[in-house]
Amino acid sequence: MQKVIVIAGPTGIGKTRLALTLAMHLQGGIINADSMQVYKELKIGTAKIEDQEQIRHHLISIRSVRDPYNVYEYQKEGRHIMAEIIKRGKVPIIVGGTGLYIKALLYDYKFQPRTKVIDNNHFTNEELLAAIKEFEPNVNVHVNNRQRLLSLLARYQTGEIVKKAELCYDAIFIGLTMPRDRLYLCVNERVELMLKQGLVEEVRGLYEAGIKNRVLLSAIGYKELYQYFDGVLSYEESIALIKRNTRRYVKRQYTWFKHQLKLEWFVVDPKCFKKTEVIVKEYIEKLLIN
């Protein structure tokens, strides 16, 4: 199977920086696996790399936030890009913190094409379950759990349900980590930097443009400031909430990656990131030779 490098880990830990180093060292092609960085308008709040003169990042800023993207589309476009990178004799480097996007590229998951979502609220529980079984006959959900039934059917209809299969590539899984208290400090510092870079102004522009959809109401850094503009939160409360929600997201990312991917973990020293880069390069070079 074709060699592929995956760089995963929690937000704010240095995945993009490591990916750039590896791409220049190995002549690799970088593929974004962050579900929010696909949107053109979400820049500061997603810590998006704008300068791509050295190495192009694929699947960044490819869709307007007005036109929500899903994992079915990501898998289709991402695999086409992977094939092009491999055809040029380069190594695909997948980097990001959205676990499902990573698995969608690497595993033989079967997604349903995106279809129009219908109003399911008038269906009985039995009808909802019957509709779900058209997608997944062996689905394990109780007929009386209506909220779960509605959620599942909505996800099937938008192409976001998968059927697990086998790994399609010879993937080298790299996980970046650091002591949790230090990472939380980095998260707080990162939020403060985003504010200095103009996060509030970026979100205000979207708010005043009248864009208020699922993407913006789920993206950390955007949904909290929307509450501030709505008058629900004070400015200070919204910033504190961004930091708290980011820390909680980091915790969820750790849990997901530890259970879903067989990562080789490397501890990052934020004061000497180059040490991490050297160690990871040596590790990958040995595996590429074998």
Count of domains in the chain?
2
User: What average pLDDT does range 117-142 have in this prediction?
Assistant: 72
Lookup result for tokens 């890009």: 81
Please answer whether residues 82 and 105 qualify as being in contact, where contact means their C-beta atoms are separated by less than 8 angstroms. Answer: yes
Residues 217 and 80 in one domain: yes
Residue 117 in any domain: the answer is no
The larger pLDDT score, comparing residue 211 to residue 139, is at 211
Within this chain, do residues 52 and 180 fall inside the same structural domain, yes or no? yes
What six digits make up the tokens of 127? 């009808």
Asked whether residue 10 falls in the same domain as residue 147, the answer is no
User: Are 72 and 114 within 8 A, CB to CB?
Assistant: yes
Sequential DSSP letters for 54-67: SS-EETSS-B-TTS
Domain shared by 131 and 275, yes or no: no
pLDDT in tens, 246-289: 999 999 899 889 988 999 999 998 889 999 999 999 999 999 87
Q: Is the pLDDT at 157 greater than 90, yes or no?
A: no
**Tens-digit pLDDT profile for residues 158-201:** 665 555 578 999 999 999 999 999 999 999 999 999 999 999 99
Nearest CA to 182 among 258, 252, 267, 244? 267
Kindly state whether residues 192 and 232 are assigned to the same domain. Answer: yes
Q: Do residues 96 and 206 both lie within one domain?
A: yes
Judgement on whether residues 129 and 55 belong to the same structural domain of the protein: no
Give start and end residues of each alpha helix (H) in 1-124. 15-26, 71-87, 99-106
Q: Report the pLDDT value the prediction gives residue 4, as an integer from 0 to 100.
A: 96
> In one letter, which amino acid is 122?
H
Same domain, 150 and 172: no
State CA 229 to chain mean position distance.
26
| pLDDT above 90: residue 87 | yes
In angstroms, the first-to-last Cα distance of the chain is: 13
Residues 179 and 241 in one domain: yes
Arithmetic mean of pLDDT over the chain:
89
Using only C-alpha atoms, what is the Rg of the chain? Answer: 20
CATH classification at residue 223: 3.40.50.300
Domain that holds residue 253: 3-111+161-289
